[in-house]
Amino acid sequence: MTRSALGRLLPWFVPAVTAFVVLHYLGTPDRQIALYAVYFLAAVVLPGTLVFRALFGSRGNWPEDLGLGAATGLVVLLAGWALAAATGGQDLLIAWPILIAAVFALVPGLRRHWRISAPEPLPIAWSWVLAAVLTVVALWGVTVFETNPLPPATGVIYQDLYYHLALVHEMTRSMPFQVPQLAGDALRYHYLSDADIATASMITGIPPVNVLLRLWVLPVTATAVMTFAAVGRTAAGRWQAGALAAALGFAGHALTLGSPGGPVNGGLPVSLVSPSQTYAMPLIGLFTLAALEALRGRPLRWVWALLPVLAVVCAGAKSSVLPPLAAGVGLAGVVLFWRRRRVPWPAVGLLGVIVFGILVGQRLFAGGGAGILAVQPLQALHWVKAYSTTLGRNDGLGLGGFLLPGMANASVAGWLFIIGLVVWWALMQAPRLIGLVLPPSGPDGVVDRAEPGRWLLGGIVVAGAGGLWTFAHPSLSQGYFFTGVLPAAAALTAWALTDRVRNWWIALAGALAGAVWQLFAPEFGPPARPSVTGWAWALAVPVLTTAAVIVVAMLIAVAIWRSRAVRALPVLLIAAVAGGSVANAVYQIGGGAVTVPPKRTTVTPTTITAAEMRAALWLDRNAGDEDVVATNVHCSPMKAQDRCDARGFWVAGLGGRRALVESWGYADEAVAAHGQGGLTYTRQPAPDPALFELNERAFRAADPADIARLRDEYGVRWLFADRRAGPVSPDLAGVAVVRHSSGPVTVYELGSG
């Protein structure tokens, strides 16, 4: 290998080694780390890269080809999983990527896709910037892994991870799928991220819990980073834009500038606790790249065959990612029609494909409770402390009405405060929104108003922000509209900056100034007593202080450099907000990685003990794949029988088997009943009260007739009894066989009757 080749490979070793150290440090077995790396390269990246090159053509360099190939590989592998789930051929899944590679090796016309025929390597600086972003992503893993320990370990794992873990187990079975916490109920949910995790587990043999909690999220996030780096470079036509888009999109936060707290959706577009959101990012990035090329007139040819599949996969990954893309494509299409006075058929075709994906997704994946997303403007302020502790302190669930009660009854002064909060949010989100105000311009500084890429990305960002502020959800799920467009917003910001830069030293100076001010700006705390005036002052002073610093700095610059400083103002502003964004993220992630919280070993009402986890893991190892379990675990905390928060989820998650009635907090019936009785959807009663009562009575009374009904009518094979969750009759041992005991848990097996 030549010295030049080694030099090009060197940057990528840094994030790879960092990721290994992070995973190793947080308890992931080294063998599993190595095995998953081989799996991801051989089963995702390799076949995906071959298919990507066959459809799109090579980008002329290996890093982008492999990154976009990995995104394509997620779709290719998912097709193999769907085929296996439909036919019961899960044992043959390992042959799917081998088959793809064999086709490209044996068909003469496809062999050329194993290499780059016309190399156009990117500068080594691009590689180092991307490697730095991926290193930050790997360090981010420390902050999210440490708070979700690998079982068995006494501690608290976020309930949604148990929910997804149960779905991962469900995805190892054959269609039709059922709700694993409510056996027999048809599953309608955007579960394709869980299918991807299940596929990795089935091919490698690594336990699903280790794939979900440790091994999966970093490679998928890295794929998203590389995908949107390609979007940024393609949009602006400059490698610097691609590098900056990756940095802002995945190593950038919203600004704070000394304000108390941060704005809604101030962090990253990926999340360990939302695998669906993370999985959607590389997929929608790939679609955005195709849309950008098509709108600019590049013939997509065979790519059109992939796009309907990609649209359905995006809808099945996260239902919130396609509508903003549709808005961006629609806006670009309207502008093209207006400017050129002819039908922009690529835009029409793209919209048709996206609508097809949305409609199919609604039919295949959207649950019956999806209608809980309602139109209620500005409901996102319910999660902003400045509002929730003042005008919104009596909003309660905020049910009904076009506005939240605190807004509907607000005075003129109250509405000025509300508008001020939205303006404050927009200022803190400047790294994501500034490309709308200072859009990309051509080499002569003139904005090309017919450039479709600008309208595509701008429409995506506006639609994402519009979704956040237009819709309402009791758990702020409308926030995913905005979270999902953060990488596209970063690409637009990067494009706007690189289009204007004539001297990169000026841009670097602006970025450094923004970073320093973000890190060292005076801190302002919340008001001692929550009030509209107090919060208005607490949020306004940091903004006014920052504005004053900018004015003074510019006056000094104008005095020294005169007109050159005025011309450089847009570059300095964009660079400053970009620098502040990255500095804030690096500070938050770095601080979280260094100050790792101590492991929680004390048992609280919400804690699941290591003994309980061992019992569930024993069930996973010993129960049949299709066995049904009955359990008395339903709530979090477990003994909260009155107004139960029905998000226990861990028995089905760690136990890996369908439960007759475990937890129903996310069931369609519960979500659709949100607000009934003054209760949120997570605290609604069980969907089938009679079945729930039968389930509970079996554990309390151990009546042989009840046990027989569970076995004969509902196919229950196992009883998972946890004394921490409620009373368990000692007579159960007389009607079922004790198979395992661990701490407060006893696992019983029911005979054939």
Q: What is the DSSP string of 595-652?
A: SPPPPP-S--TTPBPHHHHHHHHHHHHHS-TT-EEEES--SSSTT--TT------HHH
Question: How far, in Å, CA of 81 to CA of 517, rounded?
Answer: 49
Q: pLDDT band for 601, please (50, 70, 90 cuts).
A: low
Residue 275, both tokens: 């695998």
Exposed/middle/buried for residue 675 (C-beta within 10 Å: 0-12, 13-18, 19+): middle
* 64 SS3 class: helix
**Could you give the count of Cα atoms lying within 13 Å of 413 in the half-sphere of its Cβ?**
6
Residue 674, both tokens: 């949100």
Question: How far, in Å, CA of 273 to CA of 144, rounded?
Answer: 9
Per-residue pLDDT at 595: 73
Per-residue pLDDT at 642: 72
* 186 SS3 class: strand
Question: How far, in Å, CA of 29 to CA of 36, rounded?
Answer: 11
Question: How far, in Å, CA of 750 to CA of 753, rounded?
Answer: 8
From the list 163, 464, 134, 525, the residue with the least C-alpha distance to 331 is 464
* 543 SS3 class: helix
Mean pLDDT (the chain, rounded): 93
Per-residue pLDDT at 463: 98
From the list 650, 656, 736, the residue with the least C-alpha distance to 698 is 736
Handedness of CA 52, 56, 61, 64 (dihedral sign): negative
Whether the per-residue pLDDT at 572 is higher than 90: the answer is yes
From the list 252, 289, 281, 308, the residue with the least C-alpha distance to 64 is 289
Per-residue pLDDT at 177: 96
Handedness of CA 427, 433, 438, 443 (dihedral sign): positive
Hey, which residues does 747 pair with through a beta bridge?
720, 740
Could you tell me which residues come within 8 angstroms of residue 701 by beta carbon, excluding any fewer than 6 positions away?
A: 729, 731
Distance between start and end Cα atoms, the chain = 69
Q: Rounded mean pLDDT of 194-215?
A: 98
The one-letter code for the residue type at 406 is: G
Per-residue pLDDT at 604: 77
Handedness of CA 12, 15, 20, 21 (dihedral sign): positive
**C-alpha distance from residue 44 to each of 13, 54, 194, 218, 296 (Å):** 20, 16, 16, 14, 29
Q: Rounded mean pLDDT of 271-278?
A: 96
From the list 659, 622, 643, the residue with the least C-alpha distance to 162 is 659
Residue 36, both tokens: 């998953």
DSSP state, residue 40 = I
Per-residue pLDDT at 656: 97
> Would you give the distance in Å from CA 289 to the centre of its chain?
19
Q: pLDDT band for 640, please (50, 70, 90 cuts).
A: low
- Matching residue, tokens 């089935």: 202
Q: Rounded mean pLDDT of 301-316?
A: 96
**C-alpha distance from residue 614 to each of 161, 556, 725, 732, 743 (Å):** 17, 66, 16, 21, 9
Question: How far, in Å, CA of 347 to CA of 332, rounded?
Answer: 7
Is the separation of the CB atoms in 688 and 661 below 8 Å?
Answer: yes
Per-residue pLDDT reduced to its tens digit, 677-734: 888 899 999 999 999 999 999 999 999 999 999 999 999 999 999 999 999 999 999 9
What pairing do the DSSP bridges indicate for beta strands 745-749 and 716-722?
Answer: antiparallel
Q: Rounded mean pLDDT of 137-164?
A: 94
* 739 SS3 class: strand
- Tell me the whole-structure pTM to 2 decimals: 0.96
DSSP state, residue 372 = G
Q: pLDDT band for 204, please (50, 70, 90 cuts).
A: very high
Q: pLDDT band for 182, please (50, 70, 90 cuts).
A: very high
Whether the per-residue pLDDT at 448 is higher than 60: the answer is yes
Per-residue pLDDT reduced to its tens digit, 549-571: 999 988 888 888 777 878 889 99
Whether the per-residue pLDDT at 367 is higher than 70: the answer is no
